[in-house]
Amino acid sequence: MNTEIFQELLRAKKYKAVRSILEVMNAVDIASLLAELEDKELVLAFRLIPKDKAADVFAEMSGQMQAQLVAVFTERELRDILDDLYMDDTVDLLEDMPANLVTRILENVSREKRDQINILLNYPEDSAGSIMTTEYVDLRRDSTVAQAMSHIKRTGIHKETIYTCYVLEARRLVGIVSAKDLMTTDDDVPIEELMETEIISVSTHTDQEEVARLFSKYDLLAVPVLDAEERMVGIVTVDDAIDVVVDEATEDISIMAAISPTEAPYFENSVITTWKSRIPWLMLLMVSATFTGVIINNFESALAACIALTGFIPMLMDTAGNSGSQASVTLIRAMSLGEVEFKDIFRVIWKECRVAALCAVSLACVNFVKIWLVDRMLLHNTDITILVDFVVCVSLAVTILLAKVVGCSLPMLAKKCGFDPAVMASPFITTIVDALSLLVYFAFAKSLLGIG
Amino acid sequence: MNTEIFQELLRAKKYKAVRSILEVMNAVDIASLLAELEDKELVLAFRLIPKDKAADVFAEMSGQMQAQLVAVFTERELRDILDDLYMDDTVDLLEDMPANLVTRILENVSREKRDQINILLNYPEDSAGSIMTTEYVDLRRDSTVAQAMSHIKRTGIHKETIYTCYVLEARRLVGIVSAKDLMTTDDDVPIEELMETEIISVSTHTDQEEVARLFSKYDLLAVPVLDAEERMVGIVTVDDAIDVVVDEATEDISIMAAISPTEAPYFENSVITTWKSRIPWLMLLMVSATFTGVIINNFESALAACIALTGFIPMLMDTAGNSGSQASVTLIRAMSLGEVEFKDIFRVIWKECRVAALCAVSLACVNFVKIWLVDRMLLHNTDITILVDFVVCVSLAVTILLAKVVGCSLPMLAKKCGFDPAVMASPFITTIVDALSLLVYFAFAKSLLGIG
């Protein structure tokens, strides 16, 4: 739908046309269309959305748009929307809302729902409890398929998913039945015979990343959430799991590039927010580069004695940095996918050492020839002797080995100590490896060239 | 299940116990259990898996394990497995198999299935066609809900998902009905009244990343795939979409760290494979550092005139590199999530310029004070005059501005030219920004300090 045409219709008060457009569009697209409108038009357009779709559209809107609408809603409108919202969406709504609107919302939900909301709001951020919904289909083990189907027909319409049904006994989960099983089994078969009793479940405090991993490992559509007493309290659905996978990857990528993660899309963050997410790391890394400066200054005399050495500093530092960040980023991702754990650290280091040895030998050989042919012969840098060339290449090889070992072990140690391993990616590793590579370089220069 | 206990039971020929264990475990866990066994045990254990689960377990195994089993299967066993495999899993199986086993497999599927396999194998890698399955539930618009339900009961058991049903007319998709709608609607309602006609679909050639984005945007469980003539040829299911999201994020992260992506988990890649995935980029970046070397050599005399200048080179290069990679990584991710497109390039540059200005001013000011207090006063580096300090900080500020602009625009230009924007992440940007920062530094040093 073209926003301009839609706006024109709205301004020309062609409400019938607007309503028929909104009738055929899906909730997600309506929400993005509404995001383009001005404040007053937004309220007007929202009121023209068919009743059965309004809550879905509302759930898809940004927190800012939701707040705008809640502020102008009549009590009646607010109550209608809140009645139709799923529990998890209601909780999301409250998390982003200014305090006065939170009060308004809580006044307009039933007491039972308010109690549930309060419980959900208290689960730790990023836990299964904080993303679950409390509406699911529960069945009794002594029902038949036909009874279960008629139970679903009566109650299912208000549940976020009806495709996995949960067999409860005294609030404890005893089995799982899929809608597929119900639909392809004869009416008189008891649920007890049909249900799966090997159940994959999570606890309310399970980290959402772990929950998402279960979805991708076991191809689930929903996973039951149990409380500390093993009672079933809700489900996480696959659409939320996909969002978690996407968000966690974005968060890891940001942190790896030395950016504090923000949740909003690129253009929705203000310049100040973006600056705030980037400056602390830049500042920290800049100040920590003082060490590399100190190392260079300590070897001033060596550099003065053989000016050619300075020219190779960037190449050495960059190659070391790249080698280190290859190892660290590989390990960070492998840990986040659950492929590698801390107990594997020696296996990892051993593997990285062998990879590093291959990289070191190949890069050092190519570099030796390159320096001789290009830098000395082609660019006529007569400062470069065979010995200087040798010093550069040996330093390169040793540095690569160190970089890979530091690069693979730091993220694993970080995780062991309870930090986010993604912090130990390129920028951080680069700073450490820079200092290491200079120390190695100057040590070889001093001993082999006899200077400094 | 403990692998050792399982192995012991197997060796003690307690097949009844083994079978009853396999009966209660789910397919994914059985596959990982089997991965720990030796070759002969694997074949034996696989034959003990209950018939109705064997194909599911087979689909979850690694290509290597599958090849091992296919090589020893009787014709009968092979045919049984192939009959029960979903189309998309059969195609995955063939893609990783040695040629002689491919022939064996193709000889043991029905002619009809073989034709379908050939079509699926011909879709471009990473397209919707290559990950779709051809088994889905099709309904007629003139059926009633009751007729549809009985159709599903008869045929649904062999379909990968029955939760989204497709209403076809002359092989063209005219509507979609969810199983939820069927289960919560009265028996005599015609499908035509129930079906959704605003359909989200993809073509066989749509990129899998784009397909996965639709799943997360519209919270879908399956998406229909249409061919060039708009006929329905298959569906992509949500479990495959999650795998795509995970794989694409891993691929992006690898490329951003200058690693050619590999599909296998960390430990499954041999040392040589890992080396091969890392060395080309290290080599390229190392050789391209020749430029920075040349720049430094050209300013040898300036560096000799003011030795203190050399010590700030790493800080300048690192800060510029970090600033640039923050911008590039942010934009690469935003493009991959569909938040930013090429047409936004000027808006992006304008935003990055403002962020860069804030970063440049704050970093330069802090650095100015830090150099004076720490490097000059604390570390007694008397080479550092106020003018040198000024040159360093002005260079820093200008470099940050350049780095952010280069960092945000290169990935966008790369995408416009048909390259993967992830290539333009940290390592690549760092190499370019290194050269830029040195040029800026020496230009300021020459003009303000009057040296070189």
pLDDT digits (tens, 9 = 90+) for B241-265: 999 988 888 888 888 877 787 777 8
Say what the pLDDT of residue B302 is. 78
d(CA B46, CA B57): 9
φ/ψ (deg, to 5) at A170: 50, 45
Residue B134 pLDDT greater than 80, yes or no: yes
Say what the pLDDT of residue B83 is. 83
Mean pLDDT, chain B, as a whole number?
87
| Residues in chain B closer than 8 A to A163 (CB atoms) | 163, 179-180, 221
Q: Is there a contact between B355 and A312 if contact means CB atoms under 8 Å apart?
A: no
Q: Is A293 on the interface with B (CB under 8 A)?
A: yes
Q: Which of residues 324-353 of A touch B (CB under 8 A)?
A: 325-326, 328-331, 333-334, 337, 339-340, 344, 347-348, 351
pLDDT > 70 fraction of chain A, expressed in percent and rounded: 99
If residue B194 lies in a helix (H) or strand (E), which one and from where to where? helix B191-194
Per-residue pLDDT tens digits for B29-62: 898 888 888 888 888 889 889 888 888 898 888 8
d(CA A254, CA A241): 20
d(CA A175, CA A448): 73
Amino acid at B62: S
| Residues in chain B closer than 8 A to A438 (CB atoms) | 314
| Residues in chain A closer than 8 A to B153 (CB atoms) | 183-184
Helix boundaries (H) for B289-374: 290-298, 300-305, 308-311, 313-336, 345-370
Q: Which two tokens stand for residue B387?
A: 């003018």
d(CA B405, CA A112): 54
Say what the pLDDT of residue B293 is. 82
Q: What is the largest CA-CA distance in chain B?
A: 93
Per-residue pLDDT tens digits for B204-219: 999 998 999 899 889 8
Q: Is A319 on the interface with B (CB under 8 A)?
A: yes
d(CA A177, CA A194): 7
Residue B122 pLDDT greater than 80, yes or no: yes
pLDDT > 90 fraction of chain B, expressed in percent and rounded: 29
Q: Is there a contact between A245 and B245 if contact means CB atoms under 8 Å apart?
A: yes
Q: Is B298 on the interface with A (CB under 8 A)?
A: no
Q: Which of A209, A271, A384 to mutate to test the interface with B (most CBs of B within 10 A)?
A: A271
Per-residue pLDDT tens digits for B78-95: 888 888 888 888 888 887
- The upper half-sphere exposure of residue A212, i.e. CA atoms within 13 Å in the direction of its Cβ, equals 25
A141 contacts A126 by C-beta, under 8 angstroms: no
Q: Which two tokens stand for residue A237?
A: 């659905």
At B452, the pLDDT band (50, 70, 90 cuts) reads low
Q: Which two tokens stand for residue B133?
A: 């399955």
Question: Considering only alpha carbons, which residue of chain B is nearest residue A428?
Answer: B322
d(CA A364, CA B282): 11
Mean pLDDT throughout B341-346?
91
Q: Is there a contact between A375 and B157 if contact means CB atoms under 8 Å apart?
A: no
Q: Is A290 on the interface with B (CB under 8 A)?
A: yes
For B207, the 3-state DSSP assignment is strand
The backbone region for B126, taken as left when phi is positive above 0, alpha when psi lies in -120 to 50, beta otherwise, is: left
Mean pLDDT throughout A110-136?
85
Nearest to B278 among A243, A272, A359 (CB): A359
Residue A359 pLDDT greater than 90, yes or no: yes
Q: Which two tokens stand for residue A52?
A: 């059965």
d(CA A377, CA A363): 20
Question: Considering only alpha carbons, which residue of chain A is nearest residue B292?
Answer: A314
d(CA A44, CA A428): 51
Per-residue pLDDT tens digits for B171-196: 899 999 999 999 999 999 999 999 99
Q: Is there a contact between A282 and B307 if contact means CB atoms under 8 Å apart?
A: no
Q: Is there a contact between B319 and A285 if contact means CB atoms under 8 Å apart?
A: yes
A434 contacts B314 by C-beta, under 8 angstroms: yes
The interface predicted TM-score (ipTM) is 0.81
Nearest to B431 among A238, A318, A331 (CB): A318
Per-residue pLDDT tens digits for A235-257: 999 999 999 988 888 888 888 87
In the numeric block, the tokens 């007729």 are attached to: B147
B336 contacts B248 by C-beta, under 8 angstroms: yes
pLDDT > 70 fraction of chain B, expressed in percent and rounded: 99
Q: Which of A181, A306, A318, A395 to mutate to test the interface with B (most CBs of B within 10 A)?
A: A318
Q: Is B147 on the interface with A (CB under 8 A)?
A: no
Q: What one-character DSSP code corresponds to residue B451?
A: -
Say what the pLDDT of residue A81 is. 85
Range with lowest mean pLDDT among A305-314, A349-358, B7-16, B357-366: A305-314
d(CA A114, CA A132): 16
At A1, the pLDDT band (50, 70, 90 cuts) reads low
Q: Is A379 on the interface with B (CB under 8 A)?
A: yes
Range with lowest mean pLDDT among B93-102, B160-169, B205-214, B351-360: B93-102
A44-76 CB burial, b ≥16 within 10 A, e <16: bbbebbeeebbbbbbbbbbeebbbbbbeebeee
Q: Is there a contact between B318 and A153 if contact means CB atoms under 8 Å apart?
A: no
CB contacts < 8 A (A, B)? 345
Per-residue pLDDT tens digits for B12-32: 888 888 888 888 888 888 988
Q: Which of A33, A195, A274, A373 to mutate to test the interface with B (most CBs of B within 10 A)?
A: A274
- Nearest CA to B217 out of A26, A42, A115 is that of A26
At B1, the pLDDT band (50, 70, 90 cuts) reads low
Nearest to B318 among A219, A259, A289 (CB): A289
Report, in angstroms and rounded to the nearest whole number, the Rg of chain B calculated over CA atoms: 30
Q: What one-character DSSP code corresponds to residue B273?
A: H
State the CB neighbour count (10 A cutoff) for residue B153. Answer: 16
- Nearest CA to B55 out of B23, B78, B74, B29 is that of B78
A133 contacts A86 by C-beta, under 8 angstroms: yes
d(CA A234, CA A204): 9
Q: Is B354 on the interface with A (CB under 8 A)?
A: yes
| Residues in chain A closer than 8 A to B293 (CB atoms) | 311-312, 314-315, 375
Query: Looking at the DSSP assignment, which residues form a beta bridge with residue B169?
Result: B172
The torsion defined by the Cα of A177, A181, A186 and A192, in degrees rounded to 10, comes to -20
For A172, the 3-state DSSP assignment is strand
Say what the pLDDT of residue B361 is. 94
Per-residue pLDDT tens digits for B100-113: 888 888 888 888 88
Question: Considering only alpha carbons, which residue of chain B is nearest residue A26?
Answer: B198
At B439, the pLDDT band (50, 70, 90 cuts) reads very high
| DSSP class per residue in A182-227 | HHTS-TTSBHHHH-B-S---EETTSBHHHHHHHHHHHT-SEEEEE-
d(CA A68, CA B252): 37
At A452, the pLDDT band (50, 70, 90 cuts) reads low
In the numeric block, the tokens 């083994």 are attached to: B18
